[in-house]
Amino acid sequence: MILSNRYNFLYVHIAKTGGTSVRAALRRLQWRDPYYPAQWLCSRLSHLTGHRIAAKLPRHAKIVCAQEMLPREMFDGLFKFAFVRNPWDLQVSSWHHLKRERPHLLEGRESFDAFTRWKLDPQRPYQYHLDTAITPQTDYLVDLHGRLLTNYLGRYERLLEDFDYICRTIGVPTPALPHKRQATDRSKDYRSYYSDGLAELVGRHFARDVEMLGYRFDGP
């Protein structure tokens, strides 16, 4: 999550939606923010204390955290945005990411089908790096009553165009989006990874994303 007082925006970073690139592109705006030194200090203090002092908004914080922490008039006046992604495509991206960076989490379940079924099993013990990818994207975007709090939702599927719109809205030149954390084996269409049964399982798990964000298995 990025909060900018100078440019009056709040960016909600949902994992595997191009957010690392967006954060990198917006980083220079943070350096110009009058509150950035205080934000940086709080971030360092939080890290040094093992995040025991609740002094910062985490990278993948839900928007309701900012709503609770910020003064109401300030929160209401922010331009609040996020990027979302087709849930079936997101799961393929997450699997590739874990294969590349945390392959030990896949041991015994190396195939996409086996791993995804295990990951979505409600009886599975909690593991942070798995559960960030199975949390519905809409959980990051709504208040405690399920009401959408963002002003704009960009789509991963049109990342460049929507990022340009966001930059024009907050009144800054659009910086180039660097390519960050790209999967090494994504030549295949995400749909080819799925059997009918697995596609249905993912659709049920992310039913609210499918309904609220307007996605379907075959695309947006």
**Domain residue extents for the chain:** 2-213
**Per-residue pLDDT tens over the stretch 123-150:** 888 887 777 788 999 999 999 999 999 9
Q: What's the average model confidence in pLDDT over 60-82?
A: 93
What's the full length of the chain, in residues? 220
- Provide the pLDDT confidence category of residue 55 given band limits of 50, 70 and 90: low
CA atoms within 13 A on the CB side of 108: 3
pTM of the model: 0.87
* Interstrand relation of 2-4 and 152-155 (parallel, antiparallel or unpaired): unpaired
Q: What's the average model confidence in pLDDT over 105-109?
A: 84
* Strands of 152-155's sheet in order across: 2-4, 9-12, 79-84, 152-155
Asked if residue 96 has pLDDT above 70, the reply is yes
Structure token pair of residue 180: 């960050």
The sign one gets for the Cα dihedral 135, 136, 141, 142 is negative
- Provide the pLDDT confidence category of residue 159 given band limits of 50, 70 and 90: very high
Q: What's the average model confidence in pLDDT over 183-189?
A: 66
